[in-house]
Chain A
């Protein structure tokens, strides 16, 4: 019984396990190179440098689960960052209120994406390409040049440690997982998102509200991207309209590395988190390995490419070429 259960687990979570194996190897190497990795300051810094991507990737994942894609993730991250640098006052209540407004703006941006995709019946990749341009335009309009003021306690709060022990970013991640992702995954809505991505027609025939599920996936993506932007604001303590640029493609990379299918319907958030960490930690590892800084981007690229290619293993197990093409 144990054996079959174990086997089933391995089979089901094969791709996620690959992601964690990669992360494990990376961390082992990292720990050997940087013995202080598991000290509080270094660990906190490592988490901080990955957290915005983790959040943005979770958003990207929600959309990819519906067999869509969101190229506006990065610009929404920027928009949130810029808004924070414009709106944040000094006092706590004001910051909280502004944060809520910013999260709402992110969700609204996602809602617009979703509505255009679903009711405009346009392809996600093009819709979000266009809205990406629009959202980055708004970010630039608010802050043509980097700058702005963010209260210092805000940065310390989110990037520091609680009780000098637990990294605040880790707490944030746990709160997001328990407060947002878990309820989403376990709700009828979450089930519908997976169902739509798995087979939209079947989902429709089963009586699901296909439209609502898709729109909500984009809303969630916008919300999480805005949250990523807020976290990034804590790291940089200023506003920059181009800061989110890299997050669009990196988030897609993280989601794919984490084992989520670009065709939708399957994938787990645990994999996505591992994928995001892998993408962010590679550069530190390469740095500590003393590799020529100029060859770092090449290694980063190669790791990404190899990880992506692992998904191709499936192709060789199919002996009907028509199945390969489907």
Chain B
């Protein structure tokens, strides 16, 4: 059978880093095709090429067997390919209705947009899709994230696509809404349309997909019908090696009885964080788990002095400290480091060279009364780059030119130079290759072996289970439970995150 959409030997490089390496992919009509793989495996790059967002460096894309050159998303839409992206493609100032019908608004006889028709059609569409009645006249910026995602999906479906691409388009949705979206996907399939579906949730893949393709290191390593699904096999294909022995051993010289390096009492912020209490011990990696968007980001930001009007108390080495600005967090005696969520916009200055990025948080150390001490700065920068084995031809190269893994190492290097007592690590392995991940894990352990405490948030549950001494699970802005010891495993983490209990006593409800 002719493939509805097909990519043949497609290659794409970003600044010399290969994102897709002669990848081949075909999607049959009337199928729901799951694309799975680790972060950075090339799935998103592939769907961006198929939907015209970026052009491939080489290779062919075919639609119904005919080679096409999809130069823009508009062209993709004309070919029937419509994508729902992880980073939303909604215009925040425009209303729900305007967003949904942005390229083909209903018009009156004069060719002008017919507002009442626009709103009526939007209401009809949302009703037909079974979505909640979102006011069509509300600017998208005022909607909660889940509703924005629904609008994004409605916008895609309003174009009556031949191929619907969903790149993690359901991450913020409630279970019921996910079910509705799945029903819509099945309806598309029964009409001979196709859905290409990227998800990190294996249960979702199991539930909905009929074909699975696994990507690794920019290549398609396996495609097979979903009924042959074997979880461990899939995970092995994704990672490309046995899954054990990934994490360094947890044993270290510190124990729980060691003094807490940081204690947090009754921390609250707006209606996002509620009465957070935790203590982080010397030498400990304390995990913060839970579904995304339960206040973890705000917790990290509040500990680093980014948020205004935070209530509660923070103690470092037993002394209460006030952290009103990130510069306070860096002060001697507090020494907290934050590796933020988005390394490209928050962690790095992409256009500046490696050497200036790694010393950004310690500039005072390299400044005498008036001037920067270039030699000392260069020496320390070079040393930390060597220590972390950052792959770069020279420390004068802009960070932009480095691969994702090496970029993240630069962020880590910046904070290593501050000699922090507490490291707040927010999802620092996202989108990083396996080898670098492994190095980062070892580095985390060596930091705690040297007496630092680490607060560690990750969206990767296996990482939380494998790396942390304890994990606090957050739900709706509160710490809901604590997992440690043998009870700290992936199954328990998942069920606690979802608000389901476990039968174990070691799981402390808080």
Contacts and interface: CB of A to CB of B under 8 A. Distances in A.
**Do A's and B's CB atoms come within 8 Å in the complex?**
yes
Interface of A: 8, 12, 183, 186-188, 191-192, 194-195, 197-199, 201-209, 265-266, 318-322
A11 to B, nearest CB: 9
Contacts of B307: 319-321
B113 A319 contact: no
Given A206-B73, A208-B103, A321-B307, A266 B113 contact: no
B85 to A, nearest CB: 7
B91 A320 contact: no
B113 A187 contact: yes
B119 interface: no
A115 B487 CA distance: 63
B102 A208 contact: yes
A194 B155 CA distance: 18
Interface in B53-106: 53, 72-74, 76-77, 83, 85, 88-94, 98-99, 102-103, 105
Given A194-B94, A195-B91, A206-B103, 13 more contacts: A194-B98, A195-B94, A202-B89, A203-B91, A203-B102, A204-B72, A205-B53, A205-B83, A207-B72, A207-B74, A207-B76, A319-B307, A320-B307
Q: Which 9 A-B pairs have the closest CB atoms?
A: A207-B74, A265-B93, A205-B89, A198-B91, A198-B93, A186-B112, A266-B93, A319-B308, A202-B89
Contacts of A322: 301, 306, 346
A282 B53 CA distance: 49
28 contacts: A12-B139, A183-B112, A186-B112, A187-B111, A187-B112, A188-B113, A191-B113, A194-B91, A195-B91, A197-B93, A201-B89, A202-B90, A202-B91, A205-B85, A205-B89, A206-B89, A206-B102, A206-B103, A207-B72, A207-B73, A207-B74, A207-B76, A207-B102, A265-B92, A266-B93, A320-B308, A322-B301, A322-B346
A80 B94 CA distance: 35
B473 to A, nearest CB: 23
B112 A207 contact: no
Contacts of A194: 91, 93-94, 98
Contact of B73 (A188, A205, A320): A205
Interface string B350-385: 000000000000000000000000000000000000
Contacts of B77: 207
Nearest to B103: A207
Given A206-B73, A207-B103, A319-B309, A199 B92 contact: yes
Interface centre among A183, A186, A201, A266 (most CB of B within 10 A): A186
A192 B73 CA distance: 15
Contacts of A197: 93
A320 B301 CA distance: 9
A192 B94 CA distance: 10
Residue of B74, B85, B88, B107 with most partner-chain A CB within 10 A? B74
B424 to A, nearest CB: 15
B71 to A, nearest CB: 12
A93 to B, nearest CB: 29
The A interface, classified by DSSP as helix, strand, loop or mixed, is helix
B269 interface: yes
B238 to A, nearest CB: 27
Contacts of B72: 204, 207
B435 interface: no
A230 B72 CA distance: 41
Contacts of B115: 186
B270 interface: yes
Contacts of A192: 102
B92 to A, nearest CB: 6
Contacts of B94: 191, 194-195, 198, 265
Interface in B439-468: none
A257 B94 CA distance: 21
Nearest to A184: B112
A167 B91 CA distance: 40
A199 B77 CA distance: 19
A205 B76 CA distance: 10
Nearest to B83: A205
A201 B307 CA distance: 28
Interface in B379-430: none
| Residue in A191, A194, A209 with the greatest tally of chain B CB atoms within 10 Å | A191
Nearest to B88: A202
A195 B92 contact: no
Interface in B296-314: 298, 301, 306-309
Interface string B246-278: 000000000000000000000001100000000
A199 B93 CA distance: 8
Contacts of A318: 308
Q: Which of B53, B85, B94, B308 has the most CB of A within 10 A?
A: B94
Specify which of B72, B107, B309 lies most central, judged by the most chain A CB atoms within 10 Å of its CB: B72
Contacts of B270: 319
A165 B443 CA distance: 83
Contacts of A8: 137
B102 to A, nearest CB: 5
Contacts of A204: 53, 72-73
